Amino acid sequence: MFANKNYKDPFSHKKLKHSGFPSPANDYIENPINMNDLLIKRASATFLMRFKGSEMILSGIKNNAILIIDRSLKPANGNIVVVSIDGEFLCRKILLGSKKILITDCPKNKMLDIDKIINFEFLGVVTSSINKY
């Protein structure tokens, strides 16, 4: 999806012709900021998912946020990750201490001890989320 050569970055502008004086900034032209470069490090391993719920609100993930997930990254302490538990995807914060624990931002949710879950699989690290207002 990201390797598409026909993809046109919305930040890019048309090259307009100058007829009068050449721009004094001509020698300093740089490419505009590219959102894909900013958000995606490894396109082949990056997938998008849509988050539903309010459990991760304190981490800045609102209902309907688009999560950008990099499957090539190993989880580090405090990362927000995507895992599958009993055949269902979940977005949680991971704490790696003497125990490996998954938590949400919602105190009423109980913590999950990864080693005690039988049907567990790690999918990837959430590198950013897009909330639309």
Report if residue 87 touches another protein, rule: CB under 8 A.
yes
Report if residue 48 touches another protein, rule: CB under 8 A.
yes
* DSSP codes of every residue in 105-133: S-TTSPPEEGGG-SSEEEEEEEEEEE---
Question: Cβ–Cβ contacts within 10 Å for residue 127, how many?
Answer: 17
**Binder of another protein out of 27, 30, 88, 115 (CB under 8 A):** 88
CB-count exposure of residue 5 (10 Å: 0-12, 13-18, 19+): exposed
Looking up tokens 């082949």, which residue turns up?
Answer: 44
**Binder of another protein out of 40, 80, 81, 82 (CB under 8 A):** 82
**Binder of another protein out of 57, 59, 71, 105 (CB under 8 A):** 71
* Contact positions vs another protein (CB under 8 A): 1, 3, 42-45, 47-53, 55, 66-67, 71-72, 82, 84, 87-91, 121
